[in-house]
Amino acid sequence: MSYVEIPGAKVPIRMWTDPASVEDVALQQLRNVATLPWIKGLAVMPDVHYGKGATVGSVIAMRGAVCPAAVGVDIGCGMSAVKTSLTANDLPGDLSRLRSRIEQAIPVGRGMHDEPVDPGQLYGFASAGWDDFWGRFDGVAEAVTFRHERAQKQIGTLGSGNHFVEICTDSTGSVWLMLHSGSRNIGKELAEHHIGVAQKLPHNQDLVDRDLAVFVADTPQMAAYRNDLFWAQEYAKYNRSIMMALLKDVVRKEFRKAKPTFEPEISAHHNYVAEERYDGMDLLVTRKGAIRAGSGDYGIIPGSMGTGSYIVKGLGNEKAFNSASHGAGRRMSRNAAKRRFTTKDLEEQTRGVECRKDSGVVDEIPGAYKPIEQVIDQQRDLVEVVAKLKQVVCVKG
């Protein structure tokens, strides 16, 4: 489908989904965003759903301002995927050992490494700029700097919620490695700190929703936020890169005889800010639950833990600010999913996938998400499909 346009106070709201399918609270959030004095455009992805301040699945372009809640609290959250030389025929019938090895190598949930991962010990990891990156930590907001050691030990860890590590196969039988994670606790603390700062600024006192508080250009508060934001985005990217290196190491050891090789990594943020130019204006574009899909840009759009995912290539649709969805998108809250589904439902919906099937991940059941095929179909003018993947192993936080 192409987009549907509905009226907004300052800008029209372009939606790559049927407005009738969007929950009322999310529609109100979109209308609230469209009232912001600095807004120049708003694009809504087919995975849109309610979030804090701004919906997940929204792309907001503003001039001279940025809204921290329109980035999301997991700054830099995103995906990485790598195609391997392995095929489905190389996989063992029992994948439980492979899942166990991955869980041993990559801490999940609130877990962290006992000692910080040494990137110099990771095969093929490009550690250029590593020391400079950590050297910039001293310039990050004092509200979180006492957690330096923890931040180092959390690099290369998965986290919880909808984060995952997967082994997948595509329609040709090729094996892929894929993972989803962000900036861990340090990014969340930075986001919450700056949202709190923004809410106290005079220019934000008359907004329709205090969670939409913004920083404006040429102010010390904006400079501090952008410094911490870009650092956290880089932290998230390093986190995924180290996890992928650890995952490759597991695969090399488990498939030693096959001598697996790996194609270049596809990596994409979906909670971040970028400086981009549209209609002759330099804008700050926030993508919260959305990926960049400029012409030729590779992206990853995952479904849920039992349905599969898509590798896509952007078509460069400027009406959507060169963006696409970041996944299937939830169709119910975590609490609603826990009330509606049981572990038996989880077992049935993840049949054929080596994964957790206990009450701790019922909120991640495929039935709690929108159908990924429908989400892909609604954005055919934003991306083209390169490969469809189906997970055979899924490690959840």
Question: What would you report as the CA-atom Rg of the chain, rounded to the nearest whole angstrom?
Answer: 20
- 337-390 confidence digits (pLDDT tens): 999 999 999 999 999 999 999 999 999 999 999 999 999 999 999 999 999 999
Supply the pLDDT for residue 23.
94
Supply the pLDDT for residue 1.
58
Determine what percent of the chain is predicted with pLDDT higher than 90. 92
Measuring CA to CA, how many Å separate 314 from each of 284, 329, 381? 20, 19, 9
- 132-189 confidence digits (pLDDT tens): 999 999 899 987 877 889 999 999 999 998 999 999 999 999 999 999 999 998 999 9
Q: Tell me if residue 326 is catalytic.
A: yes
Supply the pLDDT for residue 335.
95
- Bridge-based pairing state of the strands 65-66 and 4-6: unpaired
Average pLDDT, the chain: 95
Residue 2 has pLDDT above 90, yes or no: no
**Least confident segment among 1-5, 46-50, 238-242:** 1-5
- Paired tokens of 63: 């001039």
Residue 110 has pLDDT above 80, yes or no: yes
Kindly provide the residue ranges of all beta strands, DSSP E only, lying in the chain, ordered along the sequence.
4-6, 13-15, 39-49, 56-62, 65-66, 78-87, 164-170, 174-181, 215-216, 266-269, 271-278, 281-288, 290-292, 298-302, 309-314, 323-325, 354-355, 383-396
What is the per-residue DSSP string for 253-294? Answer: HHTGGG---BPPPEEEESEEEEEEEETTEEEEEEEESEEE--
- 4-58 confidence digits (pLDDT tens): 999 999 999 999 999 999 999 999 999 999 999 999 999 999 999 999 899 999 9
Round to the nearest angstrom and report the end-to-end CA distance of the chain: 34
* Closest listed residue to residue 271, CA positions, set 54, 63, 12, 73: 73
- 293-310 confidence digits (pLDDT tens): 999 999 999 999 989 999
